[in-house]
Structure 1
Amino acid sequence: MSIDESALARELRNNGIDVADVSVSADRVEVTYTTTLPGAEPDHGEMGTLCTAFIDLVEEGEFEPRRVEATSLRFEDDVQATWHVEGEWFEALDEYRISEEEFSARVLDSVETDPDVDAPAAGGEGSPQ
C-alpha cells in the first residue's frame, strides 16, 4: 500500500514536522520542511522524527519503502540542508539486517549542508492551504 501526499503530509505534521511540501511518486518521496532550529546543520532530532514517521508507516504497511529525499529549510527559500534515506535502508531495518544505529549513521552520512539544488517552492501539492 502507498500513502498519498495529503495523508503523508498530515502524518508528518502530526509528528511535529513543519511540512512545506510533499511529493510522492512510484520511486521516491520528496519532503521539504521548515526547521525549528535554523542553524548551520540540520537538527538530528527533527531528522529522527521524520525518519521514525516513515519507519512507523512501513511497519504499519502504509508505506512501501522507497527513497525519501528531504530538504530542510531555515526559512522560505533558504535551504539549510538536504539528506536522504534509501528504500533499501527501510527494508533492512524492518528485516533486522541493520541496527537502528547503522540506519541513523547512513542517514547522517547523506547530509549535505551546502546543497547545490534549489528547494521546491512552498505551495505545491501537499502544501497547507
Structure 2
Amino acid sequence: MPGIDEALYEHLEEHLMSQNVYLTDAGCVDGTLELVYETVLPTGGVPPRQVGTVVVSLREFEGWDPQNVGATVTNPDGVVHGTWEVREEWLRALDAGDISEEEFSRRAIEAVRAWGPRTETN
C-alpha cells in the first residue's frame, strides 16, 4: 500500500509503543488511512482502549487532517485479532463539538470487528 508521511509514521510509532501497540504498516488507500499493528494480547480481540489510543495519537499529530481510518490488529505471529474503523465524519463532528466524546467512543466501539485468534486467509 502507498506509504504515509514519515513524520506521522514516526509519531505513531513513538506514541503507541508505550501502550504495547506496535505499528507494522501504514498507508493510504482510496483516501483511507490504513494501519496494521501488533498487540501483545494473547487471547485475541481488539480492546476498545487501543482504538482510543490510536485515534488520540492521530488527533495529536500537528497538521493531521481527519480522514477515514481503518486498522487491522494482529498478534506478533501475524494472526489477525480483528479490525476497526473510524469515519472521517465522526472525527470532524467530534472536533466541531457536534458529538460528544462518549458518542464518538460508542460509534468507534461499534465499528470494531473482533474475533479470537484465527489465521487470515485470502
Same fold (TM over 0.5): yes
Superposed CA offset, 1:43-78 (max 9, x none): 222221101012223xx3x12211100111022320
Richer in strand (by share) = 2
1:13 aligns to 2:13 (yes or no):
yes
Aligned residues: 113
1:35 maps to: 39
TM-superposed CA distance for 1:7, in Å, is: 2.0
Pairing 1:1-129 to 2, within 5 Å after superposition: 4-16=4-16, 17-25=21-29, 27-57=31-61, 60=62, 62-114=63-115, 118=120
TM superposition outliers: structure 1 runs of 4+ over 6 Å? none
- The whole-number CA distance in structure 1 between the counterparts of 2:5 and 2:43 is 28
Q: Aligned residues: percent identity? A: 31
**TM-score, normalised on structure 2?**
0.80
> Which shows bigger deviation, 17-26 or 44-53?
17-26
**Alpha carbons of structure 1 residues 26 and 63: separation in structure 2 relative to 1, 3 Å:** farther
TM-superposed CA distance for 1:20, in Å, is: 0.6
TM-superposed CA distance for 1:25, in Å, is: 4.5
Residue segments in structure 2 that go unaligned for 5+ positions in a row: none
1:127 maps to: none
> Which shows bigger deviation, 64-73 or 8-17?
8-17
**TM-score, normalised on structure 1?**
0.76
